Amino acid sequence: MIYLLWATIRPEMMRETYKIWMDKAINPNNIKMKLVVNTELEKQELSEFNDITVTNQKYTGTVYPIYCLTTQLEIDDNDLIIVVSDDFYPPDGWDEHLIGKLKDKCSCYFVNDGYQNPDGDNSGLNKSITMPVMTFSCLKKLNKILYSLDYVHFYSDTELYNNLLALGLLIDDRINDKTIFKHKNWAVGDGRKADKYDSEYNVFMYQDRHTYIRRESMDVNDRILATKGVW
């Protein structure tokens, strides 16, 4: 099975993007959705989905919602999990493509979101797992935590890259695999305008940057342990 772990604060955008994901899948019956929202009202707006977690969280960042999903997840070791965002768009046949990349592996597959330059110096965006795709066995190696609760929004995906690399769990074939899972990020003027939530995230850029610098010197086995952090 493939499990889409989807945190949203934009119900209508999420619904539209989800339809694209399902339309482009070869075997949609092999896909299950686990959705997380911030409020009961958002849950009501997405009432067509059965598996919805409500967080009532302090911030609107993605760290805590995904933590709520991954730490409670119990599925087969070979099942795939994909952390999907409202502004990520898959290619045709994305499900079979990813199954082929991770079959019989305990790994995370580094997909290209359209901005990264795998031929470059491997810095900046090239070291951020913006759309995690991995087997459940790999998630367990990470203590079932993708993003430390020390973060609000930024740099958590860069730390995830560091953790996967240090633990030997990362498959990075972006030079050979030209498949794009397009991230239409407002920050580079690509198909989406910034909204009030994007402005809220930006407040935490400096804080999360310093958190990343502090945690970068930690041993990887300490980094993957759960923390109370800012939440």
Tokens of 184: 């239409």
Q: Which residue has the tokens 């009432």?
A: 47
Q: For the segment 172-191, what is each residue's pLDDT rounded down to a tens digit?
A: 998 899 899 998 865 555 55
**What domains can be seen in the chain, in order of their start residue?**
2-223 (3.90.550.10)
Q: Among residues 176, 137, 165, which one has the least CA distance to residue 223?
A: 165
Q: What share of the chain is helix, strand, coil (3-state, %, to 5)?
A: 35, 15, 50
Q: For the segment 137-177, what is each residue's pLDDT rounded down to a tens digit?
A: 999 999 999 999 999 888 999 999 999 999 999 999 988 99
User: 205-216 and 156-166 are packed helices; what angle lies between their axes, rounded to 10 degrees?
Assistant: 20
* Reported confidence tier of residue 37, pLDDT bands at 50, 70, 90: very high
Least confident range of 131-135, 210-214, 222-226: 222-226
pTM: 0.91
Question: Per-residue pLDDT for 44 more than 70?
Answer: yes
Q: Are 184 and 123 in contact (CB under 8 A)?
A: no
Question: Per-residue pLDDT for 227 more than 90?
Answer: no
Q: Are 59 and 152 in contact (CB under 8 A)?
A: yes
Question: Per-residue pLDDT for 122 more than 60?
Answer: no
Q: Which residue has the tokens 């994007």?
A: 198
| DSSP, res 139 | H
pLDDT computed for residue 100 by the predictor: 97
pLDDT computed for residue 21 by the predictor: 98
Question: Per-residue pLDDT for 134 more than 90?
Answer: yes
How many CA atoms are closer than 13 Å to the CA of 135, on its beta-carbon side? 18
